[in-house]
Amino acid sequence: MNSLKRIVLAAALLASVLPAFGKDKSDPKVLRVALLPDENASTVIKQNEPLKNYLEEKTGKKVELIVTTDYSSMIEAMRRGRIEMGYFGPLSYVMAKERSPEIEVFAAQVKRGSPTYRGVIIGNAERSINELMAVKGKTMAFGDPASTSSHMIPKTILKHKGLEAGKDYTEQFLGSHDAVALAVANGKVDMGGMSEPIFNRLVEKGTINKEDVVVITYSDQFPNYPWTVQGYLNDDLKEKIRKAFVEMEDPKVLKPFKADGFAPMADEDYDKIRDMGKVLGLDFGKM
């Protein structure tokens, strides 16, 4: 190969490599935004089209909405830098933060004027499951293993009563809050834990008949679902994103979240989740 050909080939190779190495991940052209997989992906993306348009207007970036298969895949996507923003549950945020310390929480949803919410434990009414101790020797339903109000909160409540999974009761993971509520109401399980706002919504919609279940107890207040951003984004872009959320008022954008708005939030606000982990002996980095 003569010298001229070598120079041309080297230039071509350099040209193909430079775009990859020259990409500034602190100021991406596209913001990949991950949403919770509460429903099928196409439904979630369609419902959040107003959010996409709103963020594009406020940040000047193209926005791509992504729906992961579950909490774990969202955590992994954030860890590997495959998304710039993620909407987590409180527990899944703590898990993600443990694995990717550089991610930052900046806001949490507000409902009825508060950035906190409660969990609820319900029992099957026909079987008279109306107190926590009634789960002994029976089946307790949880949602996703990485769910706060449909796993961690109810399991901690039971633990404080001296009730342990595998020893005092059988646990079943059903994947979602809706599935837990239906399983309890239909008598497929004896007791279940879930988010109070979701429980109330299912009752209001008639998805479950309140006469089929007994509300056994409510949890304390816990910090609500947080929005997070990659720490390596530049400060100007992070501020545009933060401001877009805390100033969000458009009902069409807020409707899919069933929220009144979003309030500023910091990592230490989720220490209450970490405290529950200590009670349960959990290693958030290995869940």
pLDDT at 2 over 80: no
pLDDT at 8 over 80: no
What is the reported pLDDT for 244? 98
Q: Which CATH superfamily is domain 22-115+223-280 in?
A: Periplasmic binding protein-like II (3.40.190.10)
Going by pLDDT thresholds of 50, 70 and 90, the confidence category of residue 23 is: low
What is the reported pLDDT for 16? 38
CA count, 13 A, side-chain hemisphere, 61 = 24
What is the reported pLDDT for 7? 39
Express each pLDDT in 161-207 by its tens digit: 999 999 999 999 999 999 999 999 999 999 999 999 899 989 999 99
Query: Per-domain residue ranges for the chain?
Result: 22-115+223-280, 119-219
Same fold for the domain at 22-115+223-280 and the one at 119-219?
yes
Residue with token string 């940040």: 59
pLDDT at 74 over 60: yes
For the domain covering 119-219, report its CATH number. Answer: 3.40.190.10
Q: Which of 35, 283, 259, 276 is nearest to 151 (CA)?
A: 276
Cα 129 to Cα 122: distance, rounded to the nearest angstrom:
8
pLDDT at 222 over 60: yes
What is the reported pLDDT for 41? 84
Q: For the chain, what percent of residues have pLDDT higher than 70?
A: 91
CB of 74 within 8 A of CB of 212? Answer: no
Express each pLDDT in 110-122 by its tens digit: 988 999 999 999 9
Q: How far is CA 140 from CA 154, 159, 235, in A?
A: 10, 13, 45
The chain-wide mean pLDDT, for the chain, equals 90
> How many of the other CB atoms lie within 10 Å of CB of 83?
21
pLDDT at 227 over 70: yes
Going by pLDDT thresholds of 50, 70 and 90, the confidence category of residue 70 is: confident
pLDDT at 90 over 80: yes
Q: Which of 225, 199, 227 is nearest to 212 (CA)?
A: 199
pLDDT at 209 over 80: yes
